[in-house]
Amino acid sequence: MPNVAAYRKARRLAPRLLDWYAANARDLPWRLTSDPYSIWVSEIMLQQTQVATVIAYWERWMRALPTINKLARAKPAQVLKLWEGLGYYSRARNLQAAAREIVKNHNGQFPRDPAAIRALPGIGRYTAGAISSIAFDLPEPIVDGNVIRILTRIFCIRENPKDKATHEHLWSLAGTLVAKADDCSALNQSLMELGATVCTPRQPDCAACPVTRSCAARRENAIPSIPAKGDRTRYEEKQIDVFIITRGPRYLVQQRPESGVNAGFWEFPNSESGNKYSAPRNGRPFASARHSITRYRIQLNAHLIHAKNGKGTWCTLDELRSLPFSSAHLKLLKRLTRRLDK
């Protein structure tokens, strides 16, 4: 475990990280502002999602809902439509719930106090630290996958970072780093940037790293095994039959309940939602799609069926495009659209 010498070492790293970040930071749109709302939206979107994907979503969101007040007043369907395709949809619902709480309890102004930020729906320790440091330049630490990888390698921490004691040590080290920085915003962003572009999980570019001389794991040839990995996730395979039911130019869709998985989203009738339809015994599916969520890897097989009646809402293709679809069924809608456009 890190000792007093390790914390002294952490203090010396900040100037090198800041100099490197000033010369190498990527040009990302949310880095052009110190507006806490804009930064908050970017941080929530970046959870479980790659930067390249988030850019277009963030820009579209900020055009449609440029302020906390507009987000608070927006219809939930609009919020879900803007989030459509990003997955983990509770993030979007929590954004709106938090916006409404800010309007109610903070006069529509994003709170500056880290404790008040963390009390908002959907904001945990990392996100509160990111917003506090980036938007308000407060010496609040951050620890995410990128920071864990950097710190465990620099200090050659071989224990599993998911262990409680090890995890708290990493937070303490991150706190030491940011506390000694002249620019808390840039320091924390330098850690994110270094982990994303240089100190990567596989084949890190140690020659380009500004703190490579301080990296104990590199000296001990231990980088491939650090950070320590826990048990691999075991995925459960599932197959779902999806029924694309047509009646002339209209298609049958159903809205999910307002609670539970994919709450409020639309989807085609399927074998998991208790529908009476069954897949044809002969013939191949009209389309298939793969989708992963938590511990499930799902194969969706879509079948075209013509029917006069059905439980749900009949929509034209243009109407379907305006509805927020769950990620898995959005893939099938896109395949249907491509087929009809040929």
pLDDT band (50, 70, 90) for residue 6: low
Please state the rounded mean pLDDT for residues 38-52: 94
pLDDT band (50, 70, 90) for residue 239: confident
- Residue 87 burial (C-beta neighbours within 10 Å; 0-12, 13-18, 19+): middle
Amino acid at 316: T
pLDDT band (50, 70, 90) for residue 34: very high
Residue 2, pLDDT score:
47
Amino acid at 36: P
pLDDT band (50, 70, 90) for residue 280: low
Q: Could you give the 3-state DSSP secondary structure of residue 120?
A: coil
Q: Please give the DSSP secondary-structure letter assigned to residue 86.
A: S
Q: What is the number of H-type helices and E-type strands within the chain?
A: 14, 6
pLDDT above 80: residue 21? yes
Between CA 284 and CA 303 the distance in angstroms is 8
CB 262 within 8 A of CB 256: yes
Say if pTM beats, i.e. exceeds, 0.95.
Answer: no
Amino acid at 266: W
Q: Tens of pLDDT along 191-204?
A: 999 999 999 999 99
Nearest 5°: the CA angle 161, 156, 214 is 130
Between CA 27 and CA 58 the distance in angstroms is 14
Domains of the chain: 4-225 (1.10.340.30), 236-341 (3.90.79.10)
Residue 128, pLDDT score:
97
- Residue 255 burial (C-beta neighbours within 10 Å; 0-12, 13-18, 19+): middle
299 or 106, higher pLDDT: 106
Nearest 5°: the CA angle 150, 156, 162 is 70
pLDDT band (50, 70, 90) for residue 63: very high
pLDDT band (50, 70, 90) for residue 277: low
Number of C-beta neighbours around residue 187 at 10 A: 26
pLDDT band (50, 70, 90) for residue 72: very high
Strands 236-247 and 296-306: parallel
CB 146 within 8 A of CB 191: yes
Q: What percent of the chain has pLDDT above 90?
A: 59
Amino acid at 69: N
pLDDT band (50, 70, 90) for residue 330: confident
Residue 154, pLDDT score:
94
pLDDT band (50, 70, 90) for residue 230: confident
Residue 33, pLDDT score:
94
Is the preceding peptide bond at 76 cis, omega within 30 degrees of 0?
no
Residue 1, pLDDT score:
47
Mean pLDDT of the chain: 89
Please state the rounded mean pLDDT for residues 316-342: 84
Question: Which residues are identified as catalytic?
Answer: 43
Q: Tens of pLDDT along 128-177?
A: 999 999 999 999 999 999 999 999 999 999 999 999 999 999 999 999 88
Q: Could you give the 3-state DSSP secondary structure of residue 297?
A: strand
Give the highest mean pLDDT range of 38-42, 180-184, 323-327.
Answer: 38-42
Q: How many residues does the chain have?
A: 342
